[in-house]
Structure 1
Amino acid sequence: MKDTKGWLRCDGAELKIEEHIALYSLIGDRFGGRKGQYMNIPNLIDAEPSADVSYYISINGEFPGDK
């Protein structure tokens, strides 16, 4: 298994917005959550083409447009 540090599997997990502000600025509560406190990442488990292929989302990075 490859190192997945900084990445989360797209399984619909709930994350604290205050810990993932940059990601929240991109996806908001589009995939669910509790407004103002928690957000959900996409759940793509049923879209995975095989047992050895998974979708991940980066939880590291900068705000769009920041340099």
Structure 2
Amino acid sequence: MEPFIGQIQLFPYNFAPRGWAFCEGQMLQIEQNTTLYSLIGNTYGGDGRTTFALPDLKTKNLDDNLHYCIALQGVYPSRG
């Protein structure tokens, strides 16, 4: 089952799986991530013209071996 784009999930890995990124507040280029940007905008930072930020959930990790990741690819969530 594919995740929804923007879905945040806790993983027990020291790497972000393919199609996912760590939620560590990093800046992304809007041009390269238009779908995710259309969902979260610049809620977590960025200038809203060329960049936007992912949420920073590093301090929410329950354990050093668990990491929150956000889906960069998958199914676009519908509102219906």
TM-score normalized with structure 1 length = 0.85
Shift in alpha-carbon separation, 1:39–1:3, aligned structure 2, 3 A = closer
Structure 1 residue runs of 4 or more that deviate by more than 6 Å after TM superposition: none
Indicate which of 45, 51, 61 corresponds to 2:64: 51
1:9 touches 1:55 (CA, 8 Å); kept in 2?
yes
Aligned match of 1:20? 33
The reply to whether residue 35 of structure 1 matches residue 51 of structure 2 is no
Deviation per residue, 1:6-61 (Å, 9 max, x gap): 11000001000011111001100000001210000000000111111100001113
TM-score normalized with structure 2 length = 0.72
**Higher RCO structure, 1 or 2 (CA under 8 Å, sep 6+):** 2
Unmatched segments (≥5 aa) in structure 2: 1-12
The number of equivalent residue pairs is 65
> Identity of aligned pairs, percent?
32
Unmatched segments (≥5 aa) in structure 1: none
Paired AA for residue 37 in structure 1: T
Q: CA RMSD in A?
A: 1.7
